[in-house]
Amino acid sequence: MNKIITLTMNPVVDKDTSVAGVTPNKKLRCVSPTYYAGGGGINVSRALKKLGGSSLCMYVAGGPPGAHLHQLILEEGIEQKVVSIEGWTRENLSVTDTLTNLQYRFGVPGPNVTKEEWHEVIKLVEENVQKGDYLVASGKLPLGIPHDFYVQVSEIVTKNQARLILDTSGDALLPSMKADIFLMKPNLAELSILCGVDTISVLDLEPLAEKFLKKYSVKILVVSLGAKGALLATQNQMEHIAAPTVHQKSTIGAGDSMVAGMILSLTQGKSYTEMVRYGVACGTAATIHPGTQLCKKEDVDKLYKWISSQNVKKQ
């Protein structure tokens, strides 16, 4: 069976806690925090594990937070390969106000990654990617890494006859579009940047998706629409997948859960429609739990059944 490899260049240790009321200039006594391994590709690997799949999780890490990250991934039973860096792995904080049920998320920049360090990542990719594999490159790039880094990764993936799944943002987004991409999952804001427009209306979405596929070397485009589901677009298919309405507790890792569900579906030989339906179910399932718990298979199965029943194609 073709393996799934995830690549995370800007991982994080996510700290999740709660407090009864967020007010300024006052000491806020939070509950004991829960720690999660985080960052795009790492979240994809964690979600895959929860769904009954497996992956090789590759990432960079440094300092005591990096050691903590390694231990957190080890405890989840995920195979991992780490490139050690001098900079310290970042730590993010999410705080839920239990009086208002609002979540506050505090993110910090990642460390600087040197040329020698990211070159080690390139070597690691070359050593591990084989024919038929899926490489999931997910997340923003930290300081020190060139904006076209994912293009360099894609050249190795293509040479080894594997397939690249890309889910990135920030400064790396536009430069990465020179890559040969099998599947890409932008949200509306990212798609607007890629298409050179300020905003995207419902009426504009499908024409812009067609324009995107003609302009870039992307086989499958899945536009994440948040609580409204997703748009599946290929050269021969255009389909909107609706999402169920749920009570959201946290949106952290929802997109990564969606990617995990889609890749797992691909390895199981499911159609593109089934792939996106399952991905939407996974993304929705991740939002009904606090912190970075990601999706749970029992929730996903129920949501997938609902989505499939609501999206039956008319004959």
Active site residues: 256
Per the DSSP assignment, residues forming a β-bridge with 231 are: 223, 240
d(CA 79, CA 73): 8
Helix (H, G, I), strand (E, B) or coil at 81: strand
97, with CB counted inside 10 A (0-12, 13-18, 19+), is: middle
Instruction: Return the H-helix or E-strand segment holding 60.
Output: strand 56-61
Per the DSSP assignment, residues forming a β-bridge with 16 are: 34, 94
The Cβ of residue 294 has, within 10 Å, a number of other Cβ atoms equal to: 27
Please give the DSSP secondary-structure letter assigned to residue 104.
E
The angle, 0 to 180 degrees and rounded to 10, between the axes of the packed helices 115-128 and 149-159 is 20
Could you tell me if 166 and 178 are in contact, meaning their C-beta atoms sit under 8 angstroms apart? Answer: no
Q: Residue 241 half-sphere exposure, CB side, CA atoms within 13 Å?
A: 31
